[in-house]
Structures are given as structure tokens and as C-alpha cells.
A and B are shown apart, each in its own frame.
Chain A
Amino acid sequence: MSLIDHAPPPRFPFRRVDPLQPPPQYAQARTTQPVVPVTLWDGRRAWLLTRYDDMRSVVTDARFSGEFANPDFPTVTEARVVVDKEERAFVGMDNPRHDHYRRMFTKEFSTRRMALLRPTMAAIANRLIDELMAQAQPADLVATIAVPFPSLVMCDLVGSPYEDHKFIIECAAGRHGLLQTPARAAQKARELADYFMRLIRRKEEEPGDDLVSRVIEEHVRPGNLSREDFAEIGAMILRAGHDTTTNMIGLGTLILLAHPEQAAAVRDQPELVSGAVEELLRYVSPVQFSPRRVAMEDVTIGDVVIRKGDGVFALNPAANRDPRVFPDPDRFDVHRDASHHVAFGFGIHQCLGQILARMELQVVFPLLLQRLPNLRVAANEGEIRFKDDMQIYGVHNLPVAW
């Protein structure tokens, strides 16, 4: 045995070297030790999966649990432990409970339901682009479009008043920060569930044509779903719908503008849009420390034995850069077929809102590029702040001119 075998595994999460690429340790591990041990903030050991095939097989393997309540569930921060313990939505449940709750909401995020939203999305995007164009240059695309666009769409879908969106974003950010104290993260998670409970009660009095009113009618009134459970699930939906798409728009625009020929092709050829969105999802993979699992028994993957109770990060940013599945993976190429990426995860916990997210991105990028054909990044070196402080990766700001 060499001395190296006795050294503690490296501390996870790693720092990015290039802000547009995942940490280099993922690619290194993939060639030398694709299932690689790391040390978490609390000193515990966990495993990273860096290959696409391993990622997909673990998250569809019942020997690995996705129960957030499991005391061995791996976390990237101390605050996340508290948040996970408090999570009561189906994102943190194994089957059969997961499917039982999730199926009450699949209708609300189906291809049909989302297709009905497309004209609303386009109208919202156009209005926000108008607002951007009315500003002095350079202007911040994140504050003007990336943040409000998914918020407005989500408010329309869910039935929450738009003036509440800043509060919702603050709750999501408070929960997802890497530097957050456990008490504050828990408080922000609670505040959002309490907010959703008030929304449920309001919609019970005054129903509308929205998700909350429909779920009340179909599941709460017949007694299939308690208000308390709905409030937890609703808070999860609000958080997920605000944060992730925002980051895809901010960082996605930066990546498109860094590849002007590809941006022009996406602008001019509508048939390229959906493939470009898949490639952006693959390339950005904003939900960067997910999915997570805990082994319920000893499991061998390749030449590594994952012990019962060990945590696993089936990293989707690593799987999405596996050269055996995506040739020349660090090259951004809107012409490739990236549709089998796992940016939304895989297995039963794959993103509930993925059709919504795809459609939002398919609407917003072409409109931005068509209406602002000279759109360009207008930032000095170091001026763009990347979200190294957040669990969901992206940019805090993106100064642009047009």
C-alpha cells in the first residue's frame, strides 16, 4: 500500500478553474478512478460518480435511497442537512410514496399543459426585452430578464401574485446558498411553505384558472392530499421554477454570445432551437451537486465497493461531460444531439418541470437573439460574478449591450 492510500480523500465540493467548465477533478477521476471518494464538510466520506453510465444506473437502482430523511444522506453544507431534514415534498422520498404524490402533479407539467402556456411565455419575454431595450447600456440581463422571466411564468402557472416573486426568489436563494447558516436556510424554507399555505387558503376562497386551484379541486377537497403536504410540495415547485431557469438563461446567454456563429445559426434557423437548448442544458448543468443517494447495502461499481450508509453524488455535470457519450465533451456545439443529457437528473426524481423549463428556454433565447441581433457581453475582466457561492450554478449578473 502506498502512502496515498492513507491520505484522506479530497474535500468536496471542488473549485472551478474555468467558470464555464466543471471542476477539472471530474475529468481526471473519469480516466483514473471514475467512482472516486471525497470528504464532505462534516468529515464523512462520500463517492462521486463521474461516468454517464454509472450515474444512470445508480439513480435507477433500488439499492440506493433518495430519502432526504436518512441520517446518512450526503450533503454539501451544514445548512443543507437542516433543509433536507425539513423537506417533506416527494423530491426527498423513495417509492412508493414518491410516485403517489408526484402523479398528482404530472398533469400540471405535461406537454399539453405547457403548450398552452407558450403564447404567455412569448408575451412575457417580449415585454421584458422591451424593458431591457429601454435601459441605458450596458444593462444587466440577469436582473432584467433571467430573474423575472421564469418568475412571471411561474406566477402565471401557479396563480401567485407577481408582486410576491421577490420574496419567493429570496427564499430560494436563502435555501440554496453554500455560505448560508443552517438556521437561516431552515427559516427561508419554512417561510416559503407558510407562504404557500396562505396561497392555498386564498384559492380555496377565490379559485382561479391556475395550478393551486386545480390541485385543490382534484386532490385536496376529495381528501387525497392534505393542505400541509400541498404547501410543502408547492414551496418546492416555486423554488425549483424560479432558480434553475434563471441560471440557464444567464449562463446560457453568456455561452451563446461566446460562440457568435452558433448564436447566429440559432437566431436564423428555428429548427436548431430545441437542439441548442438541449446542448445548453448539457453544457451548463446548473443543478451541479445532484442527484444524491445513500447506499442501503454494499454495492460494487466497477472495482469499488460502496458500503452501506455511504453517500453518493451521481453528478450530472460530470455525466454530461463523459466523452464516451458526448464526443469532445468540453466543446459547445448546438449541432450535436445532446438530448440524452442528464441535466434534469434521471430515474424517478427527474425534474418535474423539465417540459416547462425547456419551453421557457426555447422561447427566450431566439427572441433575445432576433430582437437584439447585436447583443454582446459588455463586462470588464472579473466583472461577471459566477455563482461559486450557490448550489445551483450560474451568474449573478451579466452586463450586456446591443
Chain B
Amino acid sequence: MVSNAKGPIMSVLKVRVDLAKCIGAGQCVLRAPRIFDQRDDGMVILLDDSPAPELHAAAHKAADLCPSQAIIIEEIP
């Protein structure tokens, strides 16, 4: 998170998923259900690749908890 003396600066968050790594553990769906879902076969679906600022914390948490590290987050200040 980029910030200055006034607090956090609005940043743009880009989310990507790597289906080659996904094992369908479902952590992302539990932590950020507005950004991620699971397909019928259990693999990840990205619902929102540019989540609104109020969802950034959930996006980061989902990426951190993904056991197979299949979620990539890029923060563009």
C-alpha cells in the first residue's frame, strides 16, 4: 500500500489467477467471495480483476492464503 502523511493513496489493484497452479482448495472463495468463485470442477473463477478499494484487503488476504500461490496481485500506485 502506498501512503503519504494524509493516509493511503487510492491505488489500482489488478488480480490474475494461474489455473496451472490452482488446486481448488477454495480459500479465495471463503476470504473474498466478491472477487473469486469456483467452477463446477472446483478450479478458480476470477469474478473481478480490478476490485474496488474496499475489497483490496480481502484480495490480498486471498492471495496470501492461496496454498498453491495461484493468485497474483499487482498494485499500481
Contact = CB atoms under 8 A, between A and B. Distances in A.
Interface string A382-402: 000000000000000000000
Interface stretch (A1-9, A103-111, A311-319): A103-111
Interface in A103-122: 103, 106-112
Interface string B20-31: 000111100111
Contacts of B64: 340
B26 A111 contact: yes
Chain B: interface secondary structure? loop
A355 B31 contact: no
B69 interface: yes
B15 to A, nearest CB: 18
A309 interface: no
Contacts of B67: 60, 345-348, 350
A25 interface: no
Contacts of B53: none
Interface size, B (range) = 10 to 19
Interface string A81-122: 000000000000000000100110011111110000000000
A114 to B, nearest CB: 8
Interface string A15-58: 00000000000000000000000000000000000000000000
B42 A106 contact: yes
A70 interface: no
B54 interface: no
Contacts of A339: 30-31, 61, 65
Interface of B: 23-26, 29-31, 38, 40-43, 61, 64-65, 67-69
Interface of A: 60, 99, 102-103, 106-112, 339-340, 345-348, 350-352, 354-355, 358
